[in-house]
Amino acid sequence: MDGFRTAMEASVYTLVALTREMEELLAKSESGGSIVTLSYYGSQKVIPNYNVMGVAKAALEASVRYLASDLGPKDIRVNAISAGPIKTLSAAGIKGMRGMLEQMGNTTPLGRNVNIDDVGGAAVFALSDLGRGMTGDVMYVDAGYHSLGAWSGESP
């Protein structure tokens, strides 16, 4: 139970609490405010070893939609980026990560994994005026992995 509570606090509650604390400041911005959080495909599908984090990310994505609805009248946008797995120092500690990265890199329509620059570029877009027409969205930055139905065992 403690793991579930920790996952919900880290992934969901912090977004809602921080957004509420920043609401008035964001509402004063000339071009409106924008918030972006990070999610993962495990919110939509079962991913081995992801466990309670999948449930927490599903709740996070629901919170993005509700916050977007609540704050839209104040011209505050709320979105999420669902990033593919990225080879980082912290990711090295996740069981099976090396195999997951290899499989995804060979499976995605772009034929590669994403990196921090891919995710950072999407965040810049979502936070800037270029993304001013979107709110309540989950943007997938996973080299197209989420668009696949079933893996044939061969690279596209």
How deeply is 152 buried, as exposed, middle or buried, from its count of CB atoms within 10 A (0-12, 13-18, 19+)? Answer: exposed
| 66 in active site | no
Residue 88 contacts by C-beta under 8 Å, 6 or more apart in sequence? Answer: 116
Q: Which of 13, 41, 50, 145 is catalytic?
A: 50
Residue 93 DSSP code: G
Q: Can you read off the two tokens belonging to residue 18? A: 């921080």
User: What are the E-state strand segments in the chain?
Assistant: 33-39, 76-83, 138-141
| 145 in active site | no
Q: Which of 40, 41, 140, 145 is catalytic?
A: 40
Vertex 42 angle, CA 40 and 48, to 5°: 130
Q: Position of tokens 């593919």? A: 84
Active site members: 40, 50
